[in-house]
Amino acid sequence: MAQRIALLLAIAALLLYLIMAAQFESLRQPLIIILSLPFGWAGSLALLTLTGHSLNLMSGIGIIIVSGIVVNDSILKVDAANRLRKEYKREAAILQAGLIRFRPIVLTTLTTILAVLPIAFMEGLGRIIQLPLSIAIIGGISMGTLASLFVIPLLYVGLGE
């Protein structure tokens, strides 16, 4: 199961990269965005391990959900920086984009975590099945948000065009 999930994530990341390369008309900027994915995946796997849960179908679905949210946050930040490049240099543009996009990124993270948190307090069979999903989402989105806020700006400056 873990190998299939890893293969699906790799294929999804490759397709996402190709779509973004066409959309951004660049090869570097989609790479910057895609590099936020491993942070989200690592956060999911770390919290699953810390809580004693394994990688299963539900936690795999959680990791896929995390991938979408982390990529979306990174796209918003890079796109905002690109728009600000008309007025600012690269470093100033990514800093300004960080200020502009900080609240939306953090609010997305908080609402997602708060949405899946009740699963941890449920009773019955539903909790057993859905708990790995919520744990994967909470761990992944927490780590992915940190990557979007701090790693993406570094990569944007270091790998930017």
What is the pLDDT at residue 107? 93
The pLDDT value recorded for residue 39 is 95
pLDDT averaged per 10 residues in sequence order, the chain, 161 residues: 79 86 85 91 95 89 90 90 90 92 92 90 81 94 93 87 64
133's CB contacts (< 8 A; 6+ apart) are 58, 59, 61, 62, 116, 119
Contacts of 151 (CB under 8 A, 6+ apart): 35, 36, 39
The model's pTM is 0.86
For the four alpha carbons of 143, 60, 103 and 82, in that order, the dihedral sign comes to: positive
